[in-house]
Structure 1
Amino acid sequence: MTTATTTATVLEASGVTMRFGGLTAVRSVDLTVNTGEIVGLIGPNGAGKTTFFNCLTGLYVPTEGKVSYKGTVLPPKPHLVTKAGIARTFQNIRLFANMTVLENVLVGRHTRTKEGLWSALLRGPGFRKAEATSRERAMELLEFIGLAHKADHLSRNLPYGEQRKLEIARALASEPGLLLLDEPTAGMNPQETRATEELVFAIRDKGIAVLVIEHDMRFIFNLCDRVAVLVQGEKLIEGTSDVVQGDDRVIAAYLGEPFEGAPEDTALDAVEAAEAQAADADADADTDTAEAPAAEAQTADAHTAEGDTK
């Protein structure tokens, strides 16, 4: 029983390719994450790490390849990916700044509640029970990350490190089987980084698999069971921390030196510009499909979201 649980595949990305016009940001990347694993994704700036994350979570529709969660191909819609069981945080913090800490976590519950608009307006017994359950679960998560005592504080007033923790708690509120963390220690001091490392281990101990992007090599190699390296949109190597650290190609890639068999130069500046343009074009759709449904649910749960989401 233990062996089956350990080796069960949670995420399988097969041949994922993402092109922006004639530019290829991610090329034929394969990656699996198993139950109980923490897997790292590293690479130099412009390697395509966040683009790959966006393909996994439905923000981008891959040009080629497929992404499966527990054997089921995921629909290319962020809220449906979250409902399936994958949650994520972002490189740039995306909290609802004028909502409280508790309300931000309640937003993450929207995919796990069945109450709709009419039940919220009528406020019948079913709605009140669901609301109480959501608040109880949200407070448990705040206790888990150490922010229960700040439940009524506005999220914008939290220190940077606590805002990062709050974003993780909001992701956990959707009850995922896989958590994707995009540079969770960016801008943190060593004490905050260590606390984040302990938090990720605690999340894994709850049975949630983790896939993490990070530039802090000490953090990633201490944390992860396996590490995959992206270079110019292609997977260069995947293995244990010791294997990856000892690979000369990885060292050369980080130093910007060419190595035998390196991917072709894909004009990284142009790729980054294309990604930025695509992100701007998709901004409204992203808000409608990912954040707007969450804000509507929070309006029902906390009675304050309609004004606060602005």
Structure 2
Amino acid sequence: MTTDTTTSQAPARDTVLDATGVTMRFGGLTAVSDVDLTVGGGEIVGLIGPNGAGKTTFFNCLTGLYIPTEGTVSYRGKVLPHRSHLVTQAGIARTFQNIRLFPNMTVLENVLVGRHTRTKEGLVAALLRGPRFKKAERESEDRAMELLEFTGLAAKRDHIARNLPYGEQRKLEIARALASDPGLLLLDEPTAGMNPQETRATQDLVFAIRDQGTAVLVIEHDMRFIFNLCDRVAVLVQGRKLVEGTPAVVQGDERVIAAYLGTPFEGEPGEEELAEVEAAEAHSTARTEGDDTA
């Protein structure tokens, strides 16, 4: 199978993300194979592909949840550590396909959690609650309120997160990710389960995030959303990058159309193989998250 093509990619002013040769194997199964991808400053880049194509696995490699079997991931020219909290500290934030809020905390408290990588006060300062700690606490709350205003959630600052409508929970997860002041935001299916009105609002929000100086990499199954939103789109099939280019280039590529229609490729994995990969991914994620909370 051909896995790369000449693209219409224009040179970016600066490179925010540079993933080179990223490969992720689970035992003898290869979920992502030799994927290169860059995101430039001021860009919105889309990552699409059929179910089981390796999109979320690739995201997990970028954000330190997985340690790639091969390849490197760099942010602004520096190779990233293989720990998710250190990746966030470096300047990359993400949301998840399945919403991961703190359901029994308020909207404001959820966003304040996202500020912890940008505060310097430690345990002793928190216990003493001196003037410097109180100043930092006020600054964090001010920034959190700015983000709630930005995402349209300011009026619900004291609401319990689990009581928000689904679309607003998605917005809250984005607000929490933005609280770490990232230079790159990764969105994993941000419009999943949304109605057309909520999808349009999310599109406007992503544009506004980009306009404030944050580059965006987004996974999405809604093709209209992706092609209206993105400067470039990369397509993963069977863990490999099939094609990358402008939305017009990608929409017109016959191999992309074939992949979405289900036309088989040589060496395409069967359902049992895909199920094994998904099970291995779930086990790896649970183990890694356990390490991060230890």
Q: Which interval holds the TM-score relative to the shorter structure?
A: over 0.9
> 1:240-295: per-residue Cα shift (whole Å, max 9, x none)?
0000000000000001103xxx4622345424433433433542541552xx49xx
Instruction: Specify every segment of 5 or more residues in structure 2 that has no aligned partner in the other structure, as ranges.
Output: 1-10
Residue equivalent to 1:139 = 145
TM-score, normalization by structure 1: 0.89
**Counterpart residue identity of residue 223, structure 2:** M
**Counterpart residue identity of residue 247, structure 1:** D
**Counterpart residue identity of residue 239, structure 1:** G
- 1:173 has 2:179 as partner: yes
Distance 1:151 1:284 in 2: 33
TM-score, normalization by structure 2: 0.93
Distance 2:110 2:86 in 1: 19
> 1:123-151: per-residue Cα shift (whole Å, max 9, x none)?
01111011000000000000000000000
- 1:164 has 2:167 as partner: no
Residue equivalent to 1:277 = 280
**Counterpart residue identity of residue 289, structure 2:** D
Distance 1:281 1:11 in 2: 24
After superposition, residues 136-285 of structure 1 pair within 5 angstroms as: 136-258=142-264, 262=265, 264-267=267-270, 269-285=272-288
Would the aligned equivalents of 2:65 and 2:288 in 1 still touch at CA under 8 Å? no
Which structure is higher in helix share? 1
Would the aligned equivalents of 2:66 and 2:284 in 1 still touch at CA under 8 Å? no
Could you say if the C-alpha distance between residues 268 and 235 of structure 1 is closer, same or farther in structure 2, counting changes exceeding 3 Å? Answer: farther
**Counterpart residue identity of residue 224, structure 1:** C
**2:123 alignment partner, one of 107, 117, 123:** 117
**Counterpart residue identity of residue 128, structure 1:** K
**1:13 alignment partner, one of 12, 19, 27:** 19
**Counterpart residue identity of residue 188, structure 2:** D
Aligned length: 284
Would the aligned equivalents of 2:233 and 2:250 in 1 still touch at CA under 8 Å? yes
Distance 1:281 1:61 in 2: 10
Residue equivalent to 2:5 = none
**Counterpart residue identity of residue 19, structure 1:** R
Would the aligned equivalents of 2:57 and 2:281 in 1 still touch at CA under 8 Å? no
Instruction: Specify every segment of 5 or more residues in structure 1 that has no aligned partner in the other structure, as ranges.
Output: 294-310
Aligned residues: CA RMSD: 1.5
